[in-house]
Structure 1
């Protein structure tokens, strides 16, 4: 579910076009604004960043546009990596339209909360973290109330990753705590709506001869060809190690 097995970027983009597009936007805007420092890049940043005072004065689009902007390369990389790991399964389960709507609404909820705490202050915020925590919220609803959509191994991964992400939210400096918490709450609240007719995730492949060859097998975890538990655990700890490393680097000032 969270281990990427696509053989190429082209294959990934074909199967998960919304996630791929979001990641491309993250890095494209970083290149324009931060790397190349193009003149119109500064304009994009100035009109796209969330600024509470300007939102209070009527710039309501700033509740959405900060979701696509990032402070630096590592900020864009970390959020894109999280989206790469946790976005594809939900995009397939929900469908492209429901996925992007849920993603944006969760991000908006986090940004609205950020604004509500200091509505007239010159507080600037950017980043997709609130939207990504919204994805965690949907997964947590799945773990708690839709166990038919997720197996126990992946449920454990979600629980551990969420706990670590929550701890990092309060330990790292310059983190938008409101966006993380309320983005998560927004995603969890959307869970019963967007998961109403959702189907369990299945790994797509080009090798399938027809769409009928691809489907969800409810007994897939009991079959001998399943991924061994030790491999799943190794991947879990690899992901955790990367997240912890990034968190530690951010804490001591390298990012």
Structure 2
């Protein structure tokens, strides 16, 4: 038996993927402290100037957090746990992971598109977390539920991105939109034998649109982006 979104019913119900994502973030955070010369940050943080040379940073940066502000990882992982234990059983583990990772990428694309080129590093799971905000909004709406409290929560977090220095609201916006779109592709796929195919196609389409946006932005910037790391 499966849920409306295609997830299998009757599993343990434990948010295994959420636990794994949290464990990876914590492990990477430990490495940030243990490895010398800020090595993890230097190798995996995202900077818009490095988009063409090292595009994988747009995803790896979502697993790094500020060493100077411990609450950065604490708050992100707590929010991930709260939303993950709701969304993972509903969407299914693989679909949920896809939404999370594509949202993380979408957060970086949002930052790339909406900010000037620079070598300023951007790290944190916030883009992916905002993707879960968007995902829960779609799930609740699809079920006919009340989204007013969720909208207030999203609004508060959005405002914080403008009033607190160092928060990349552009990444939050990119993640939020991406999470909503990817989950809509899952939630509104017609039930039946082709549901999974439609869902995969929808997720691939959102990911492709993000790549096109990033590519278009890179083409527009032209020589402003180095083609090799420095």
State the 1:113 CA deviation: 1.8
State the 1:141 CA deviation: 2.2
Match of 2:20 in 1: 21
1:83 and 1:99 map into 2 onto residues whose CA distance is: 12
Question: Number of residues paired by the alignment?
Answer: 178
Kindly indicate whether the alpha-carbon contact (under 8 Å) linking 2:158 and 2:169 is maintained by their aligned counterparts in 1: no
TM-score, L = length of structure 2: 0.70
State the 1:47 CA deviation: 1.2
2:157 and 2:98 map into 1 onto residues whose CA distance is: 23
Match of 2:113 in 1: 116
Kindly indicate whether the alpha-carbon contact (under 8 Å) linking 1:49 and 1:65 is maintained by their aligned counterparts in 2: yes
1:86 aligns with 2:79: no
Match of 1:49 in 2: 45
Give structure 1 stretches of 5+ with no counterpart: 1-12, 199-255
1:60 aligns with 2:52: no
Matches within 5 A, 1:124-139: 124-139=121-136
- C-alpha RMSD over aligned residues: 2.3
1:117 and 1:124 map into 2 onto residues whose CA distance is: 15
CA distances 1:104-154 after superposition (whole Å, capped 9, x unpaired): 11111110121223463212100000111011111222344x134xx44xx
Determine which structure has more spread, i.e. the larger CA radius of gyration.
1
TM-score, L = length of structure 1: 0.64
1:120 and 1:26 map into 2 onto residues whose CA distance is: 27
Of 23-32 and 103-112, deviating more is 23-32
State the 1:14 CA deviation: 7.0
1:117 and 1:84 map into 2 onto residues whose CA distance is: 29
Kindly indicate whether the alpha-carbon contact (under 8 Å) linking 2:31 and 2:40 is maintained by their aligned counterparts in 1: no
Kindly indicate whether the alpha-carbon contact (under 8 Å) linking 1:53 and 1:120 is maintained by their aligned counterparts in 2: yes
2:62 and 2:92 map into 1 onto residues whose CA distance is: 20
Kindly indicate whether the alpha-carbon contact (under 8 Å) linking 1:102 and 1:194 is maintained by their aligned counterparts in 2: no
- Choose between structure 1 and 2 for higher RCO, CA contacts under 8 A separated by at least 6 residues: 2
